[in-house]
Amino acid sequence: MKFLFPIAQRIFYAIALLIAVLVLNFSMLHLAPGDIADTIAQASGGADAEVIEQIRKDYGLDQPFYIQLLKYIGNVLAFDLGHSFFYNQPVTDLILEKLPATLLLVITAQILALIVGVLLGVFSARNPNGLASYVVTFLALFGYAAPVFWTGILLLIAFSLKIPLFPVAGMIDVTVEGGFFARAADIALHLVLPVITLASIFLALYSRLCRASMLEVLGSDYVRTAKAKGLAEREVVFKHALKNALSPVVTLAGLQFSAVVSGAVLVETVFSWPGLGTLALQSIIARDTPTILGILFFSAFVVIVGNLLTDLVLRLIDPRVGSKA
Amino acid sequence: MSSDAEKEFIEKARSPFSEAFEMFRKNHAAVAGLVVLIFIVLAGIFGPYVYPGDPFEMVWAPFSPPGDEGYFLGTDYLGRDLASMLIHGARVSIAIGLSAAFLTVFIGITIGALAGFYRGWVEEVLMRITEFFQVLPTLLFSMVIVALFGATLPMITLAIGLVSWPAVARITRSEFLRIRELEYVMAARACGVSNGKLIFKVILPNALPPIIVQAALMVGSAILFEAGLSFLGLTDPNIVSWGQIIGSNREYILDASYTVTVPGLAIFVTVLAISLVGDGLNDALNPKLRQR
Amino acid sequence: MTVPLLKVENLRIELATRDGVAPVIDDLSLELGVGETLSFVGESGCGKSMTALAIMGLLPEKVGRIASGHIWFNGEDLTKADDARLRQIRGNEISMIFQEPMTSLNPVYTIGEQISEVLRRHKGLSQRQAHAKAIELLDAVRIPNPQARVDDYPHQMSGGQRQRVMIAIALACEPKILIADEPTTALDVTVQAQIFDLLRDLGQQTGTATILITHDMGAVAEMAERMIVMYAGRKAEEGPVDQVIDSPRHPYTKGLISCVPHLLDTLTDERPELTEIGGIVPSLRDFGKNECLFASRCTIADEKCRANRPPEAEFDNQQRSACWHAGQV
């Protein structure tokens, strides 16, 4: 109960945030220049009178603002994000179709960046003049300064055009035949370059923070206690120091979820990865407003879920989290 | 009283500014970054006069490699002079970087200072708003703004500022929370100094060092952000920018990879220079590090 | 006297500082017998903790090192022992408790885990056996309701309780030597006495020899049989506690003792005035000089003191003093 209550509170807060996103969406729709029904249909005046009429009815555009808003929120809570007139499909279906590809990319990149970043951080903290230290310093500069789409194109030129190791674009090669494993291997092959590209930004952040946090923890009193117990070096570093050094890194990773999703938009565009980012760009070019707003809502949802998971992981790592209150 | 001793004393007790400058000067990477940055800014301001030519004009056969016919960076897929585009692009990148960073810092300081100074429900409300903005994926959010309100330079600047301020707000708030409890603030408060004066004249100047460092980094982030948007094609089509050159040429990397690598390098070098300067400022302005 | 359990011979520890290398411990020798309690006394920065860390083989990497001398433990020279051997000894045959109970326990593991970890490492106990033993140990260090507390995390305990847990960890493997580095400095006065009682009782029960590092003269008088007074990395005086306190043979010891208020004198009595030792401890860069380092603060110092480092003068009653004027003090 003690453990569950704060989590229930967090979930309640998360729902409030999501409703706030909806209010923002709706306000932007109203603030945007031009007639709302036109904006939604995105035909710039030339749309079918019947379609425009339908939109006015669906969104309740003849009613007062707050009723429109409540109606919009009510629709979304019933998993109805509106209709895409460009794709002629419900927006929810469109998004759910593309979501798995984005989640695969985002989650794999986060995990890769965390694991490699933490390992680099640990080794460079153990040996400040070693190879790992130089790698961290280099990554920290490169990861911040290099535009992620440029990194992606460079990798693309190097590892699929000059040396054809990986496929140039997409997620699935339709010519690949075989069972589940053959197809999984194909997707994995397509995943390599996009994931490395996306992870490169965050790898830099995590390894630098992990190094700083490890250096601090290695000088702490409880690490001295662990050494005084006669524990092996490995246990001192990985059991006693790392678990403490991990908290700030996990917290940062949680805060980065929205940046990872942002980065994914660019990476998806570079590698033609069939995810939400590609969909977002296409619908912006097609001026397909319901889809764009739906994606913004869904990506906020992904970020919020990511934050909740981070919170849970933090609680598992550090017993002091949540017991303070 | 010997004036020599007095002079010596004055020389030893240098102003914090000159001491920070000294620290910065010792950081060779930061000085190199600053030199590169000054060069890029000068190129952006005076480049178009030194190297005249319309970046949109087709001057030579498309995909001419660098050096061909005197076009030392070659031409792009429409046969436009890449060097000219790069120089004109510098203007846009730097202008947007600076103005968006200014907007970011302005919003961030306002929100952070109010939250940190007034505490209580003001802080609660403002920090919830900050958290809300951190939940929205920055690039997607600015894409939506640009898509709905038009891809003009002011709108792009506004979009970047609107999504980037939470980091500055958080830093400002935590500095304010720390400083407002210090003795000299208490003393000023006890003397009846008004809240406005407390915020702007007493606390803010002391909270500035980390904010300045963050502001420097924000310029870099804003340049990257603008590059990302224009790479996606969400920019004013009548203005050249580095990201846009990459975006419009990226389908032709097989024919002419330099049309992508060179402008990318320009972004990379600029942002790298900014971040080196930021590191240098951090060392120079952080008195704790100075004692090492 | 039989072969001592621990014998430190002419130990010199050097510390890398900004101004070069400084000997934080200079030519220190001492002996510790089985089950004996020896106290290390001196102002902060005089090298007490460095000696303890050197015995544990835990001098800060790249900063401190043993330049010369030997540390004989049971006939084995620890200065020559390799890391693996030192790890076998640490926490098992020689263990240590630290000054800061608030930060010395790992915040992310239960205290049960932190106690049983040593037992698993050195005594080869299974998870379950170690856990059961941990509960016994918590009981032994007088933590109420050990069955329940064993699964607590450090932040759920008070400073005094955490120091008890540290003692439980240190004594888990029934070591031959326990080094207690200012174990009560960070604690409330009422808790200090309890911790000292606990240390003395458990030490007697297990026959563990104790090195007590402290600047609390009251604790020294109560706990220890012999004491060593350190000043600026050098031994100033050594001898049985009651004799040293009764008739110090070094001006520094004398000064230290007269700093301690005598609460037990009846209030109506006229009490001796409290004195202080004037001046300050020399800086690290002066530590290696061939002179008496206390000379600048000493009331009886003369030219000889400022020109040469005094040798140890030995008295009949096992008292030794590194002072040119030891006989006159």
The rounded Cα C295 to chain-centroid distance in angstroms is: 25
Q: Does B145 touch chain A (CB under 8 A)?
A: yes
Q: Decide if A215 touches C, using CB distance below 8 A.
A: no
Comparing CB atoms, the residue among A17, A28, A270 nearest residue B135 is A17
Higher-pLDDT residue of A162 and C131 is: C131
Which residue in chain A has the smallest CA separation from C169? A229
Quote the crossing angle between the two packed helices A91-126 and A131-145, to the nearest 10°.
150
Cβ distance A276 to A99 under 8 Å?
Answer: yes
Give the SS3 label for residue C30: strand
- Per the CB < 8 A criterion, the answer to whether A180 and A221 are in contact is no
Cα–Cα distance list, C14 to A177, C21, C67, C290 (Å): 70, 6, 6, 16
Interface test with B, best of A284, A303, A311 (most B CBs within 10 A): A284
Residue A21 Cα, gap to closest chain B Cα (Å): 8
Q: Which residue of chain C has the CA closest to A231?
A: C87
Rounded to a whole number of angstroms, the distance from the CA of B173 to the nearest CA of chain A is 17
Q: Which residue has the tokens 């089509």?
A: B237
Residues in chain B within 8 Å Cβ distance of A141: 272, 275-276
Of the pLDDT bands very low, low, confident and very high (cuts 50, 70, 90), residue A27 is confident
Determine the residue among C104, C115, C119 to mutate to test chain A binding: the one whose Cβ has the most chain A Cβ atoms within 10 Å.
C104
Q: What is the pLDDT of residue B102?
A: 94
Tell me which amino acid residue C137 is: L
Please give the Cα distance from C70 to C291 (Å, whole number). 24
- Does the beta-carbon distance from A232 to C87 stay under 8 Å? yes
Q: What average pLDDT score do residues A281-289 get?
A: 86
Handedness of CA C208, C111, C51, C322 (dihedral sign): negative
**What is the tens place of the pLDDT at every residue in A81-91?**
888 878 888 89
Average pLDDT of the residues in A269-297: 90
What's the confidence (pLDDT) of residue C130? Answer: 94
Q: Which of A220, A224, A317 sits opposite C58 (nearest CB)?
A: A224
> What ipTM, to 2 d.p.?
0.87
| pLDDT of A1 above 50 | no
pLDDT value for C281: 77
- Shortest distance between the Cα of B69 and any Cα of chain A, in A, equals 26
More reliable by pLDDT, B31 or A3: B31
**Chain C hits for A228, Cβ within 8 Å:** 56, 58, 90-91, 95-96, 98
Best A40, A150, A255 member to test B by mutation, with max B CBs in 10 Å, is A150
Which has more confidence, A298 or B73?
A298
Q: What pLDDT was estimated at residue A107?
A: 93
Return the pLDDT at C112.
94
Partner residue opposite A317 with nearest CB, options C83, C108, C117: C108
**How many Å apart are CA C33 and CA C23, to the nearest integer?**
27
Interchain contact, C56 vs A228, CB within 8 Å: yes
Query: Counting Cβ atoms within 10 Å, is residue B292 exposed (0-12), middle (13-18) or buried (19+)?
Result: exposed
How far apart (Å, rounded) are the C-alpha atoms in residues C115 and B232? Answer: 58
- What pLDDT is stored for residue B7 in this prediction? 52
What per-residue confidence (pLDDT) applies to B270?
Answer: 93
- Give all domains of chain B, ordered by start, each with its CATH number: 29-44+81-290 (1.10.3720.10)
B 221-280: CB under 8 A from A: 224, 227-228, 231-234, 243, 246-247, 250, 253-254, 257, 260-261, 264, 267-269, 271-272, 274-276
A209 CB neighbour count, 10 Å cutoff: 20
| Residue C39 CB-half CA count within 13 A | 27
Is the pLDDT confidence value at B5 over 60? no
pLDDT at B232: 92
pLDDT-derived band at B151, boundaries 50, 70, 90: confident
| C-alpha to C-alpha distances, A323 to A90, A289, B112, C153, nearest whole angstrom | 44, 44, 27, 11
pLDDT of residue B290: 44
DSSP string, chain B: --HHHHHHHHHHS--HHHHHHHHHHH-HHHHHHHHHHHHHHHHHHHHHHHS---TTSB-S-TTPPTTGGG-TT-B-TT-BBHHHHHHHHHHHHHHHHHHHHHHHHHHHHHHHHHHHHH-HHHHHHHHHHHHHHHHS-HHHHHHHHHHHH---HHHHHHHHHHHHHHHHHHHHHHHHHHHTTSHHHHHHHHTT--HHHIIIIIIHHHHHHHHHHHHHHHHHHHHHHHHHHHHTT-S-TTS--HHHHHHHHGGGTTT-THHHHHHHHHHHHHHHHHHHHHHHHHHHH-HHHHT-
Token code pair at residue B232: 């996606």
Shortest Cα–Cα distance, A203 to chain C (Å): 25
Distance CA C210, CA C176 (A): 8
Give the model's pLDDT for residue A224: 93
CA A2 to chain centre: 30
Look at residue A211 and tell me whether its pLDDT is greater than 70.
yes
* pLDDT(B1) > 60: no
Instruction: Tell me which residue in C107, C117, C153 faces A244 most closely, judged by beta carbons.
Output: C107
- pLDDT at position A118 is 95
Task: Tell me whether residue C159 is exposed, middle or buried, using C-beta atoms within 10 angstroms of its C-beta: 0 to 12, 13 to 18, 19 or more.
Answer: middle
Q: Does A have 3 or more CB contacts under 8 Å with C? A: yes
Neighboring chain A residues of C117 at a CB cutoff of 8 Å: 229, 231
CATH number for the domain whose boundaries are A99-324: 1.10.3720.10
Q: What is the DSSP string of A269-306?
A: HHHT--SHHHHHHHHHHTT-HHHHHHHHHHHHHHHHHH
pLDDT given at position C117? 94
What is the pLDDT averaged over residues A234-238?
92
Closest of B163, B174, B154, B156 to residue B104, by C-alpha = B163
Q: Report chain C (329 residues): mean pLDDT per 10 consecutive residues.
A: 81 84 87 90 80 89 86 90 92 91 92 94 93 93 92 92 92 92 84 87 88 86 89 88 87 82 55 69 79 84 84 83 81
> Where are chain A's structural domains?
4-77, 99-324
Alpha-carbon Rg of chain B, whole angstroms? 23
B270: nearest CA in chain A?
Answer: A145
pLDDT band per the 50, 70, 90 thresholds, residue A166: confident
Q: Which of B171, B232, B262, B289 to mutate to test the interface with A (most CBs of A within 10 A)?
A: B232
Q: C55 contacts in A (CB within 8 Å)?
A: none
DSSP C218-241: HHHHHH-SEEEEEETTEEEEEEEH
Query: How high is the pLDDT of residue A324?
Result: 46
Q: Supply the DSSP symbol for C284.
A: G
Q: Which residues of C touch A232 (CB under 8 A)?
A: 87
Query: Which among A228, A230, A243 has the least Cβ separation from residue C108?
Result: A243
Q: What is the CA radius of gyration of chain A?
A: 24
Specify the pLDDT at position B67: 65
Q: What percent of chain B has pLDDT over 70?
A: 86
Length of chain C in terms of residues written? 329
